[in-house]
Amino acid sequence: MEPDFQALRKEFPVLGRKTYLNSGSYCALANDVKAAFEAYMDDRLLVGANWDVWIGKNESVRSLTATLLNASPDEIAVTASVSAGINSLASALDFAGPRNKVVVSDFEFPTNAQIWHAQEPRGARVVHVPRAGDGYIPLEHFAEAIDERTQLVAITHVCFRNGAKLDIPGIVRLARAKGARVLLDCYQSVGSLHIDVRALDVDFAAGGMLKYLLGTAGIGFLYVRDSLARSLVPTNSGWFAQADIGAMDITANRPAPSARRFEAGTPAVVNAYAAEAGLKLLLSVGTPAIERRNLALTQHCMQSLEEIGWRSVTPPQDERRGATVAVPSRDSGGLSKELMKRGIVTSHRDDNLRASFHFYNNEDDVGSFLAAMKQLRGSFSPG
Ligand SMILES: Cc1ncc(COP(=O)(O)O)c(C=O)c1O
């Protein structure tokens, strides 16, 4: 039986005021997450310093994230951001030998290309896989780029610009055939689609808590496959990355025998409160049902947009998209502002307006969005 999505809307007060289509940027705030922030404040007011509880919250985020991804807690580093996680991973890789190539795609969020380019002085060679004429990146393009010199294929799951989802199983097969590892940037998919890192067979995955995971900014995760979590040694480090955090040993670096070695300093305690509450709520709904819901809402939205003369650049095939519908406009920023005046919250990137859906959206939200887009077509459709 599907979850009662309509009833769940009551947990997100903003939905009573706005048509909220912005989860790919920042999720709607749930009552439980607000209560978690308040619990932290109460702790500070009434207890003062409650470190055992605070560290427990961070550990809870680690294990809930592991459950979400079908990983073990030892394979999860709780990070400050996706960028922090990828930087820490990059610091553990050696680009001095013949395997110095990092393959990224044209669909990357800047951070997952910039960090690899930042490794060029260390010997890394970054190769970009281009899109085809239809705007998608076919497997053949990855096959041309991935070779025996490839150390890492660092790819986004769902593109933040156009909502397209890459063929991850196909890309992983190509990488494995050449002995390369795979990093999945799943920030635009985690929480909106079902993700199983074991089934996908990726080596690393990075994401954060402020979008579809219902939490907040300033906290994220890096999944590192078990064997690599114990063998790679990051040169980005700190006391919370040590095997024994309490040892206070200043004579050596003794990394934790787990993905915790990819962490650094004191955890973002208040963010852990919020992230824990968001993850618990999300897991209670269940990602397989959320994925079905988001694919249905985005399909309905794209088809209806087309009927009123707006063409989206998001792929129509279910296996090729996430929870965002991207629509080119001659002024995507202006369009987003006009929608906001009508109570519809969206975002924009480049020439595309982005409407991102989550399980708390419904057909009425699609209807309000379409009615406004119909009104605004004359002024904002592409030239
Ligand atoms: C796909 C993707 N990767 C990475 C990031 C950046 O994450 P962070 O700011 O946590 O480094 C974003 C942010 O929107 C994103 O959409």
pLDDT digits (tens, 9 = 90+) for 181-203: 999 999 999 999 999 999 999 99
pLDDT at 254: 98
Contact criterion met (CB below 8 Å) for 209 and 268: no
Is residue 233 pLDDT above 80, yes or no? yes
pLDDT at 91: 98
pLDDT at 19: 98
Residue 111 Cα, ligand 1 centroid: separation in angstroms?
A: 7
Supply 331's token pair: 């002024």
Q: If we measure between CA atoms, which residue out of 352, 355, 361, 353 comes closest to residue 324?
A: 355
Does the Cβ of 220 fall within 6 Å of ligand 1?
Answer: yes
Q: Pairing between strand 347-349 and 352-356?
A: antiparallel
The pLDDT-based confidence of 350 (bands split at 50, 70, 90) is confident
pLDDT at 135: 95
Does the Cβ of 87 fall within 6 Å of ligand 1?
Answer: no
Q: Pairing between strand 204-208 and 150-156?
A: unpaired
Single-letter code of the amino acid located at 220:
G
Non-local (6+) Cβ contacts of 266 within 8 A are 240
Relative to the CA of 157, which ligand 1 atom is closest?
1
Residue 247, number of CB atoms within 10 A of its CB: 11
**Ligand 1: which of 25, 108, 109 to mutate, most ligand atoms within 8 Å of CB?**
109
pLDDT at 250: 97
Q: If we measure between CA atoms, which residue out of 375, 370, 276 comes closest to residue 21?
A: 370
Atom 6 in ligand 1: which residue has the minimum CA distance?
Answer: 82
Is residue 1 pLDDT above 90, yes or no? no
Does the Cβ of 185 fall within 6 Å of ligand 1?
Answer: yes
Q: If we measure between CA atoms, which residue out of 30, 6, 3 comes closest to residue 364?
A: 6
pTM: predicted TM-score of the whole model, two decimal places: 0.97
Please state, rounded to an integer, the average pLDDT across all residues of the chain: 97
The pLDDT-based confidence of 150 (bands split at 50, 70, 90) is very high
Rounded-to-integer distance, Cα 186 and Cα 289, Å: 18
Residue 84, number of CB atoms within 10 A of its CB: 22
Q: Is 383 exposed, middle or buried (0-12, 13-18, 19+ CB in 10 A)?
A: exposed
Is residue 39 pLDDT above 80, yes or no? yes
pLDDT at 68: 98
Relative to the CA of 188, which ligand 1 atom is closest?
1
pLDDT at 183: 99
Cα dist. 48→39, 43, 61 in Å?
12, 6, 22
pLDDT at 383: 74
pLDDT at 112: 98
